[in-house]
Homo-oligomer: A and B are copies of this chain.
Amino acid sequence: MIIVLKNNVKDAEKKHIQEYLESRGLKVREIIGEKETVLGAVGSVSIDFRQIELLPGVSQVIPISKPYKLASRELQKEDTIFDIGPVTIGGNRVVVIAGPCAVESREQIIESALAVKKAGAVILRGGAFKPRTSPYSFQGLGEEGCRYLKEAGELTGMPVATEIVSPNDADMMKEYIDIFQIGARNMQNFELLKKVGSMGMPVILKRGMSATIEEWLMAAEYLLSSGTEKVILCERGIRTFETMTRNTLDLSAIPVVQKLSHLPVIVDPSHGTGLRDKVLPMALAGVAAGANGLIIEVHPDPEKASSDGPQSLYPEQFEKLMCDLETLSSVVGKEVS
């Protein structure tokens, strides 16, 4: 922790600040400059830095330790790379996860699975529990949806991913699925993170709409410290003042995260933009920016989708995307899984 003192700090104030810090087990060192004096305080104790900020004579307090450990590249230098069934995630692989927003019926999810598999996807997605802004909207098929999803995954040889919205569902869902997904709205639902982490299975962790990159890594820290090592970060757009897109896809977050953390990071251009005709360019942009993969909504008949139809690709559009991806990946030194 760095404590910047006021220009006109009194000796008694400075002494009190030093004693305050030392009495809490911190080692303090003073740096006197021409324009300012700062105290450096280090140690393994954690103090709410605002506490110090309120002491007389203090101008500003700057915390310096990163709050996340397990997620940090300082702890683990090499990229985290792991397998989910036949699929390798991380490193120089570009993994494509695709499927409909919601599992609507057995037929629909099987049809979707066949279509995305054919085009080159390697993991199947589909929502069984849908967190909806309105209590009056379709809330998903629940366990029935998980069952259909599993069947579609087995039929096509793809691992399956779906969103979990309550800790109470975790044990049931484990029987059906291969990857848990934590949605943006639940990124700081810490009870959910602890439960899901304790399952030890792969997790896709979406970035919250207003989460800083640090908070996102702290949410990953909850998962990692609860018992799983297989965390996939997913950028899906942040909330800004711009209203012409549903969210603002923050692709700069990708190189930033990759420098700070060893975890793989993928992009969700479907939620990030909210409109089908923006999905293709932003998917390519995500991979160009260095993403380790994509998660894409594809629906056999988007006009009839029960949710998020307008941001779902037609199967033909998805095929086009997979082709472009193949060429693009080699430009950035990657390989489509």
Contact = CB atoms under 8 A, between A and B. Distances in A.
B245 A248 contact: no
Interface in A281-312: 281-282, 284-290, 303, 307-311
A152 B285 CA distance: 34
Interface residues of A, number: 109
22 contacts: A2-B2, A31-B40, A34-B44, A35-B44, A46-B137, A48-B308, A53-B275, A62-B64, A67-B133, A135-B221, A185-B189, A186-B189, A212-B241, A213-B244, A240-B248, A240-B250, A245-B253, A248-B248, A251-B251, A255-B281, A255-B282, A328-B331
Nearest to A225: B135
A54 interface: yes
A222 B139 CA distance: 13
Contacts of A105: none
A196 B27 CA distance: 47
Given A135-B225, A212-B241, A238-B241, 18 more contacts: A8-B77, A33-B43, A35-B65, A50-B310, A50-B311, A51-B303, A53-B310, A134-B218, A135-B222, A167-B168, A209-B210, A210-B210, A210-B239, A210-B241, A238-B240, A248-B252, A254-B281, A331-B331
Contact of A35 (B42, B185, B243, B311): B42
Nearest to A226: B135
Interface string A66-90: 1100000010010000000000000
A34 to B, nearest CB: 5
Name the residue among A64, A189, A222 with the largest chain B CB count within 10 angstroms: A64
Nearest to A74: B7
Contacts of A261: none
A151 interface: no
A14 interface: no
A92 interface: no
A111 interface: no
Contacts of A118: none
B245 A256 contact: yes
